[in-house]
Amino acid sequence: MCLGYPFRILEVRSPFTALAEAKGVKKEIYISLLPEKVKEGDWVLVHVGFAIAKIDEKQAQETIKFWDEQLSES
Amino acid sequence: MNNSANLDFFSQLDEPERLKRLTQRLTQKISRLKLGRRLRILEFCGGHTHVLLRHGIDETLSEVIEFVHGPGCPVCVIAQSRIDYALNLAEKEDIILATYGDLLRIPGSQGLTLQKLRALGRDVKMVDSSLATLKLAKDYPHRKIIFFAIGFETTTPHTAFLAKQIPQQGLKNLYLVSNHVISPIILAYLLEKGIHLDGIIAPGHVSAILGQSPWEEIAQKYHLPIVISGFEPFDLLTSLLLLVDAIEKETPTVLLQYDRVVRPEGNPLALSLIEEIFQVRETFPWRGFGLVPNSAYKFKEEWCFLDAEQIFPWEIKEENPKGCLCGDILQGKAKPWECKLFGKACTPKNPIGPCMVSGEGVCQAYFKYKLI
């Protein structure tokens, strides 16, 4: 249950639900616990049917870049 | 929409060359501390335990870090008395008991499981979302549906959301049992009992709900650095690097590695839902810990019409399975191989203790990824 899984939004179907996909599996998920709006193409983290957070892809790229720079300094 | 960039970002998180360099950097850094012993780092969450073992991170770093596996697996910490309660409910003719999958295989005090009860003809349903129980209640209007809810903060808001739907949809045959437990409380309880640690890896997804502040109180009180980590090997290695820096500088601070998911303030919408529906229980039984004060949620009085514990009360006696060390393992006092049942009487196919049942359990991780 703490094993959240990243899903990509395919279609927002209502203020409460969206069709999302992870590794080829399509599933209707609930987006009503998200404090921010999501749109097609966004990544969200899903726990037992509910998206609990939006995944910030730009932030992820920056984190990877930061560590690559750190490692190249030594 | 182009999703190749998205795939790229995930694949970068377990790129071998990057991980190798991170591991080398980490080993050098810890060796330079000249402690004369290994660092003791607790990873709270069972999801983290599995990543550490699956990728051999614990082995690679075994000379410099001893990982202490924490109690962060909700299925593992559920007391046997609570399983007995679920079994007792499911045995009633007019009840359909619904719960998340992992719970079906945990034995009660008589060795019975919800799965076996189902095979004997009782109505036990597995659901992959709390809201799936709404459909059950509509499909079976003459039966009583009980949702046996379980989980840390990652699933508590889901139950709260369901609770609000029940009166809104005019359902009179859907009841809930809350086994929702509170992560920072059990971590503080462990520290209060005197477990020795150098740093803590805090659960990433729980923090997506809670934010940073509950960990900050713990970091200050027990003078320990804490890092909120993601679940890829890259995340754990960079989290450990941040942690070692903080250990070196002796700063009891909370660091956020998992910033692509966790906001410092958490998820305010989910937190307000929890607040609206739940109140903290005086005590709650935990596997291996006994009764822990203020460590779980129950429904507020105004929600008593859906609180199954008030409507179907049952006297609960607590016992642990004979020989099972899950309790000690969950408190970081023992490792799975020290248990006489591990890998012999207790396997993922025929589990005795919950640490072997759950996909997040420590014993199952050792069974799957370590040579026995």
Residue B119 has pLDDT above 80, yes or no: yes
Q: From the list B45, B132, B267, which residue is nearest A33 (CB)?
A: B267
B12 close contact with A: CB closer than 8 A: yes
Instruction: Please judge whether B129 and A41 are an interchain contact, meaning their C-beta atoms are less than 8 angstroms apart.
Output: no
The answer to which of B1-10, B60-69, B155-164, B176-185 has the lowest mean pLDDT is: B1-10
- Across the range B300-319, mean pLDDT stands at 89
Distance from the first to the final alpha carbon of chain A: 39
pLDDT of residue B7: 52
The answer to which of B142-151, B287-296, B304-313 has the lowest mean pLDDT is: B287-296
pTM over 0.90: yes
Give A12→chain B minimum CA distance, Å: 15
CA distance linking residue B241 with residue B25, whole number of Å: 8
B320 confidence band (pLDDT: 50, 70, 90): low
pLDDT of residue A61: 86
Higher pLDDT, B246 or A71: B246
Count Cβ atoms below 10 Å from residue B261 Cβ, excluding itself.
26
pLDDT of residue B369: 92
Q: What is the ipTM of this complex?
A: 0.93
Residues of A in contact with B54 (CB under 8 A): none
Cα dihedral angle (B192, B42, A3, B155), rounded to 10 degrees? 10
Residues of A in contact with B158 (CB under 8 A): 33, 47-50
Q: From the list B72, B150, B208, which residue is nearest A52 (CB)?
A: B208
Give B138→chain A minimum CA distance, Å: 19
Residues B145-200: pLDDT tens digits?
999 999 999 999 999 999 999 999 999 999 999 999 999 999 999 999 889 999 99
Query: Tokens for B282?
Result: 């005086």
Residue B299 has pLDDT above 50, yes or no: yes
Residue A72: strand, helix, or coil: helix
Interface of B with A in 35-94 (CB under 8 A): 45-47, 72-75
Chain A / chain B CB contacts < 8 angstroms: 127
Instruction: Please judge whether A53 and B263 are an interchain contact, meaning their C-beta atoms are less than 8 angstroms apart.
Output: yes
